[in-house]
Amino acid sequence: MKKLLDLHLEAARFTPFLDFDWGDLSSGQKAFLSCYARFYALTDHQQIASNMQLQKNVLILIDEGELYLHPEWQKNFLYNLIRYLPSVYTNRNIQIILTSNSPIIISDLPKSNLIFIDKGENGCRVIDGLQETKQTFAANIHTLFADAFFIKTGLIGEFANQVLLSLINTINETPSPELFKRRTELESLIGQIGESVLRTKISSMLKNKIQEYADNTQVNRQLLETIKKMQIEIEELKRGKSNDFN
């Protein structure tokens, strides 16, 4: 296979006539393979065939190289890259400049090696660093995700956020009798909430309102029973007086 590829590279220097595709690979696997294949294409062995040669100092620019990669692969992206590049660019001084939107990547980099760019209404600007995390190297990835630099509107998906808002409004605005009838449906929805603090809070809201309705219903039932008992007693008194006159 390697000999075939070398012959094809030599023969198709100006006009490629074969197309190679890895049809069964995922988009992440293809991105991974493409990235490393491009680096290999610039090795000394390949450059000699093209009458070119890399200089002593190598500057590599990578634009969102972790794109399409599974989070676990993103976590290993820099580690694998740092191990791989010196093996293909031997005896070279290698410097890498990369762009990324992923907090997973910056957990492998010290703050001094990072430039944070924020895009606002007035365009892009360089900012000093993250709002919540002072140092980035070996920082907890979950903490980095939670930083407002990456996610400004909360840590749950917008669809889920709208469902929660609708659920809260339903509990607050629905009349208690109707809410009592829908309690099984609502409890089932609340049970699917993954964040335990939110799940407990919303569940408590529903239970309190249902309990208040149940308590009021019980009070009303007791009042009706008391009234009914008093009416019976009144009727008995009336019948007793009527018998006295007779």
Report in angstroms the alpha-carbon separations of 199 from 152, 154, 161. 22, 16, 13
For the segment 80-86, the average pLDDT, to the nearest whole number, is 91
pLDDT digits (tens, 9 = 90+) for 203-227: 998 888 877 776 665 545 655 666 6
Question: Is residue 78 pLDDT above 60, yes or no?
Answer: yes
Report in angstroms the alpha-carbon separations of 190 from 64, 104, 156, 176, 184. 38, 31, 15, 18, 10
pLDDT digits (tens, 9 = 90+) for 108-127: 989 888 888 887 778 888 87
Spell out the domain ranges in the chain: 156-246
Cβ neighbours, 10 Å, residue 169: 10
pLDDT digits (tens, 9 = 90+) for 179-191: 888 888 999 999 9
pTM of the model: 0.63
**98: enclosing H helix or E strand:** strand 93-99
Burial of 77 (0-12, 13-18, 19+ CB in 10 A): buried
Question: Is residue 148 pLDDT above 90, yes or no?
Answer: no
